[in-house]
Amino acid sequence: MKNKYDKDFLIYLLEKMMVVRKFEEKIQALFSDGVLHGTTHLGIGEEGTAVGATMALENQDYIFATHRGHGQVIGKGADVNAVMAEMFGKKTGVSLGLGGSMHLADIEKGIFGTNGIVGANLAIACGTAFSIKTKKEKDKIAVAFFGDGATNEGVVHESMNIASVWNLPILFVLVNNGYSVSKKLFEMTKNTNLLERAKIYDMKAYEVDGNNALEVFETVKKAREEILKENAPILIVANTYRLSGHSKSDNNLYRNQEEIEKWQNKDPIKALIGVIGCSKDEIVALENNVDNIIKEAVDFAKNSPEPTIEDILDRVYAK
Ligand SMILES: Cc1ncc(C[n+]2csc(CCOP(=O)(O)OP(=O)(O)O)c2C)c(N)n1
Ligand SMILES: [Mg+2]
């Protein structure tokens, strides 16, 4: 595939995707070893969508991520050390160690949190988009990520409807990985053409190969411009696949190896390496660099202090 980007940019995009992949592989190992506690949702295989989309945004844009949001948050520019420290519940974490995987926020970077309530982030994003519009803020949009499963939540319908009626500056990025926990898309809805969801709100919509990071990047960039110019929200349906299980505990009993292997062959990282045409040496150098970034992040997290009781009470707003 030909592309019009210079190699430095492509390598930057690739490296970000590799950071996300290795970050998640590392935390998976740390959970298995009993070092990290609670649960987490990995987006291994979805980096093309998460990083392609967030790298197409501007710093001033706001994102509202899902429960599967490490890639969305790191892609938007959160500090990897601080995201790792958050996983460890440390004070140096993005949310002061009080949030964890499903509450990763960094307001300065426009990251308004990952969110464990499926679909809720769309409503919050609409509120923020309404604020952008009311304050007449220029060159800024809100972006809400959501899954195929979420499309069957009432709040998703209400949010897309109000965004359309009020002409809000918001981009809806539907990460269609084909599953809601263990249920396939066709078991959750009769009409599996998710692009058509936009029709009923008279909303513009695009469909992309979510494993093609460049296609995602270009489409999000174009959609961002159109939202600002045309004063109307847009839906992007990104078709992808999570190679990892739904959450920390998943025996993969609802899908077969053949299906997983088919998607391993469409791995977004391998695909981008193919587009760039990296040499073996370049890949090894990149891998080593990313391994160091992740190692440093784990060391930083391990050596960071815990939040104190005062830190916690400081953030209790209804005393
Ligand atoms: C309101 C709500 N209902 C149910 C759940 C439980 N739950 C967590 S993730 C999930 C599946 C969501 O599927 P999808 O939106 O496709 O996102 P994916 O997990 O595939 O990334 C469900 C049902 C929840 N967290 N919140
Ligand atoms: Mg899904």
Q: How many separate domains does the chain show? A: 1
State which residues form the domain around 77: 7-178+185-245+252-314
DSSP state string for 85-151: HHHTT-TTSTTTTSS-TT---BGGGTB----SSTTHHHHHHHHHHHHHHHTT-SS--EEEEEETGGG
What's the CATH code of the domain at 67? Answer: 3.40.50.970
Q: What are the pLDDT digits (tens) for 83-130?
A: 999 999 999 999 999 999 999 999 999 999 999 999 999 999 999 999
What is the identity of the amino acid at 97? G
In a domain, 17, yes or no: yes
CA distance 134 to 183: 40
Residue nearest to atom 17 of ligand 1 (CA): 147
Of 221, 173, 226, which is closest to residue 13 (Cα–Cα)? 221
Q: What are the pLDDT digits (tens) for 173-200?
A: 999 999 999 999 999 999 999 999 999 9
Atom of ligand 1 at shortest distance to CA of 43? Answer: 21
Cα–ligand 1 centroid distance for 289 (angstroms): 34
CA distance 37 to 26: 14
What is the identity of the amino acid at 56? A
Q: Would you state the pLDDT for residue 305?
A: 98
Per-residue confidence at 3, pLDDT binned at 50, 70, 90?
confident
The contacts of residue 284 (CB under 8 Å, 6+ apart) are none
In a domain, 1, yes or no: no
In a domain, 171, yes or no: yes
Q: Is the dihedral of CA 79, 80, 83, 84 positive or negative?
A: negative
Cα–ligand 1 centroid distance for 138 (angstroms): 33
Which ligand is nearest to the Cα of residue 155, counting in written order?
A: 1
In a domain, 2, yes or no: no
Question: Please, what is the average pLDDT of the chain?
Answer: 97
In a domain, 25, yes or no: yes
In a domain, 133, yes or no: yes
Residue nearest to atom 6 of ligand 1 (CA): 118
What is the identity of the amino acid at 214? L
Cβ–ligand 1 distance for 241 under 6 Å, the answer no
Q: What is the mean pLDDT of residues 57-61?
A: 98
In a domain, 290, yes or no: yes
Per-residue confidence at 81, pLDDT binned at 50, 70, 90?
very high
Task: Tell me the whole-structure pTM to 2 decimals.
Answer: 0.97
In a domain, 260, yes or no: yes
